[in-house]
Structure 1
Amino acid sequence: MRGSNLAEDLLAIYNALRLAFGHQHWWPAETPFETMIGAILTQNVSWTNAAQAIRNLEGAGLLDPHTLAAAKTSEIARLIVPSRYYNQKAERIREFSRIYVAEFAADPAVMAAADTDELRRRLLAIRGLGKETVDTILLYACEKPVFVVDAYTRRVFSRYGLLPEDASYDRTQRLFAENLEPDVELFNDYHAQVVHLGKTICRKSPLCDRCPIREVRETLCCEKTVSLAAGNP
């Protein structure tokens, strides 16, 4: 059963972010396959770098599942250098592309039609694809109502008092899955809003006085949570 108080808080937080930042229109890609490759490329690097790597692949005529599946990893790697860890990512991209072609006919509709849990398990079995990457593919490319968790999510909601600082990926994801109705559009923009908040305001050294969600719950605010986390009374 969904907790009504938590649900209200989570929706109030989203609404405050949306009001402050506007719709984020995320994920920035022209095709579902570009989104899938972008999810792999953006691992441990900024989106700016990942976007440059995508442009390089597109410029070389390689942003195609069949072409990438048949390409040499060295050929892929030299084009995605801006994304860092390019040799490992080249292997992941080629393996993912091969599976996408062989098991899903290189068709996003075929992939999206698969059972969510089974598809998630299959993608997690691909070497180098972790939960955040897979869930990004599920939400943004396949339009599955799966909430994506990242370091910003854990940072924001632990500071806000809704999660412990050391909350796992699964526990953080359950906070949203168990208290919000499964809604692709909401999960899509909510994640993007949290990322924007984490990059601009709720940074490692937070700018709490500028935070648009600090007054959503009167008993918990960013400044109080950060103070307690630092060991101050």
Structure 2
Amino acid sequence: MCMLIFSNKATSLPYGLQKKLEIAHALGTTIKLVLLDELAESEKGIPRRVTEENYKGNISSEKRRFTLRFLFFATEEMCYNCCLEDNMCNHPDITRRVCGMKLENLYEILREIHGPQGKWWPGTPEEIIVSAVLTQNTNWKNVEKALENIKEYCKKDILHCLAKMSTEEISFLIKPAGFFNVKAQRLKNLLTWLKSYNFDLEKIKTKSIEEIRDELLSVKGIGKETADSIILYALELPVFVVDAYTKRLLDRLLGIKLKEYDEYRLLFEKTYPRDVALYQEFHGLIVEHAKALCRTNPLCATCPVESCKYKNTKK
């Protein structure tokens, strides 16, 4: 069964997509067309009023007024591909519904391949907050060296300790992490925000995830990946972290590139339950898979993820 949603805002059905639908019908695919008599969208972007019709073969002249805008639900690979190849999945909520099809079993597949990841981001919550900044544009080994310098100097209570230091002093300690002057200033900015809560992480957690995220993103030098890393790993609140590995894996798996960071994040959060342990483990599995198999030059021949669009186009 393949359900398609059409919009009455356009004037024609793309010829290539029309032919694909006709082929799908000839192969026995059941296709239901949902024509919007009015594009009345709810707050979440789901159309409220629709009229339904079954697709019987050739598309009538009346239906040519409509162009495919959204794929609402599909279980047929061909219909799924139609949507992706014609770049029609441009509505964020519909994108999550469509692409979620490819994500449903990804966690189980990666866990079967790589096994449990355990505590993937090591350290205390305070150390994780600092390392979330240090890890920007560098590898983890360099972060470990810089973090060891901080721990050796501060002994304990590293947030209070760093807050009392000058930017130059912090720069000296974190030199192994690279871009040390920039990162030192970003740490100072973050520490100023933490100081407004008296460095009390539990007090921060009394706010909603959205409020915490907005506040972190208002700190100069803290982007979405860094903010979400702090929220998930240090504060242990359920928000999915999207890094370069996640984008690479998703782009190849789905065969399309999503436009915004939050599209990737919400895709995971709408497909899987919002659970801290699950998100931490899933993120660790994605990083492990990207390093082991889904590399810059991927090892598709040995990758067991059979639903990957990129892998299947290489065959």
CA deviations 1:25-63 (Å, max 9, x no partner) are 244333111111111100111111111111111011176
1:210 pairs with 277, 294, 302, which one? 302
Could you tell me which residue of structure 1 aligns to residue 131 of structure 2? 38
2:311 pairs with 223, 226, 230, which one? 223
Could you tell me which residue of structure 2 aligns to residue 230 of structure 1? none
Higher strand share: 2
DSSP 3-state at the match of 1:144: coil
Distance 1:40 1:27, change over 3 A: farther
State the Cα RMSD in Å.
2.2
Asked if 2 retains the 8 angstrom alpha-carbon contact of 1:27 and 1:35, the reply is no
* Matched ranges for 1:72-221 at <5 A: 72-101=166-195, 103-161=196-254, 164-165=256-257, 167-212=259-304, 214-215=305-306, 217=307, 220-221=308-309
Cα distance in 1 between the residues matched to 2:278 and 2:98: 18
Task: State the shift of 1:164 in Å.
Answer: 2.0
Cα distance in 2 between the residues matched to 1:119 and 1:202: 33
TM-score by length of 2: 0.65
Asked if 2 retains the 8 angstrom alpha-carbon contact of 1:158 and 1:165, the reply is yes
Higher helix share: 1
DSSP 3-state at the match of 2:222: coil
One-letter identity of the residue aligned with 1:191 = H
Q: Which has the larger radius of gyration?
A: 2
Asked if 2 retains the 8 angstrom alpha-carbon contact of 1:146 and 1:184, the reply is yes
Tell which deviates more after alignment, 11-20 or 148-157.
11-20
Asked if 2 retains the 8 angstrom alpha-carbon contact of 1:36 and 1:137, the reply is yes
Gaps of 5+ in 2: 1-45, 47-92
Structure with more relative contact order (C-alpha pairs < 8 Å, separation 6 or more) = 1
Identical columns (%): 35
